[in-house]
Amino acid sequence: MKICVFPGSFDPITKGHVDLVKRAYPLFDKIYVAVGENSVKKTLFTLEQRMTWLTQVFEGDDKVSVGTFNGLTVNYCKEVGARYLLRGLRNASDFDYEKTISQLNNIIGKNIETVFLISRPEYSHFSSTIVREIIKGKGDYKPFLPDNIEIQY
């Protein structure tokens, strides 16, 4: 069984995230969309809120499980039996960063492979960070988030 983990902060989940997961369906039997709790990263939304959104977005999808983890992503991969990580690339900066992380994960995770999908053009110009700024500035965030996600901020 081919199992992968798509880790992230999902603060908030975007249409780009959902697109990556759906495009990975043919590649994997099971995809764990997992919120990594990073003590250094300041989030706008609570872990509970982010988990609720992920559960809403992937409700009824047998291929996707939603979870959380602390610590190293590779340890979570071992916990769920995953040999693959899924990551999206929007631009060259993403590639440089993700390449380094994937090489380190491969070493410390004992051959955990990272599969990169290039973002579709319509999703490559924004990130959760940009969407958070739009939300904080009271702008229209709806074009960037899945249709069933409502934000109270």
The catalytic site residues sit at: 17, 41, 90, 128
CB 10 within 8 A of CB 35: yes
Alpha carbon of residue 17 to chain centroid: 6
What is the dihedral sign for C-alpha 88, 42, 50, 3? positive
Bridge partners for 114 per DSSP: 85
Q: How many angstroms separate the CA atoms of 135 and 142, rounded?
A: 10
SS3 assignment, position 88: strand
**Element of type H or E holding 100:** helix 92-108
- Of the candidates 102, 31, 14, 27, which has an alpha carbon nearest to the alpha carbon of residue 66? 31
**Residue 68, both tokens:** 């959380």
